[in-house]
Amino acid sequence: METARFSTIHANSVQYWILLGTLVLGALVGYLAAHHMDVEGHHITGMSNQIVWGFPHVAAVFLIVAASGALNVASISSVFGKVDYKPLARLSALLAIALLVGGLVILVLDLGRPDRLIIAMT
């Protein structure tokens, strides 16, 4: 396997601003989608009294399962002693955390009243 080479992206480079703009745009689209679903209701995702699993549930399950897969990649170097996967371990672990948080945020937003999550946790 070829050795992984990582390079830094400097804060004044074009790649940095493209990456930052893409991330901000993605966060803005996610916020607007969550706001639209909060205002219009869950029927816009295909849910009804007969269909209880809409797109948010499917997306949350996908993100949580993808987090599991990313964590498997992160553990290959330590569990099986594969040195080639060692550089990917930290990135895979961070990706797993981000995917898990994304899936859980979708489920919290699906509650309808996310502020009442505190009641469920106590």
**116, 73 contact by CB (below 8 A):** no
Domain boundaries, the chain: 7-40, 48-121
Tens of pLDDT, residues 78-116: 888 888 888 888 888 899 999 999 998 888 888 777 777
Q: CA neighbours within 13 Å on the CB side: how many for 73? A: 16
Amino acid type, 97? I
Tell me what the mean pLDDT of segment 63-89 comes to.
86
Top mean-pLDDT range of 23-27, 34-38, 114-118: 23-27
Cα-based torsion angle of the residue sequence 41, 65, 100, 119 in order, rounded to the nearest 10 degrees: 60
- What's the rounded Cα separation, in Å, for the pair 102 and 117? 16
CB-CB contact of 86 with 77 (8 Å): yes
Put simply, whether the predicted model's pTM sits higher than 0.75 gets the answer no
Instruction: Give the integer Cα–Cα distance in Å for 110 and 41.
Output: 10
Tell me the CA end-to-end span of the chain in Å, nearest whole number.
49
Of 95, 70, 73, 69, nearest to 85 by C-alpha is 73
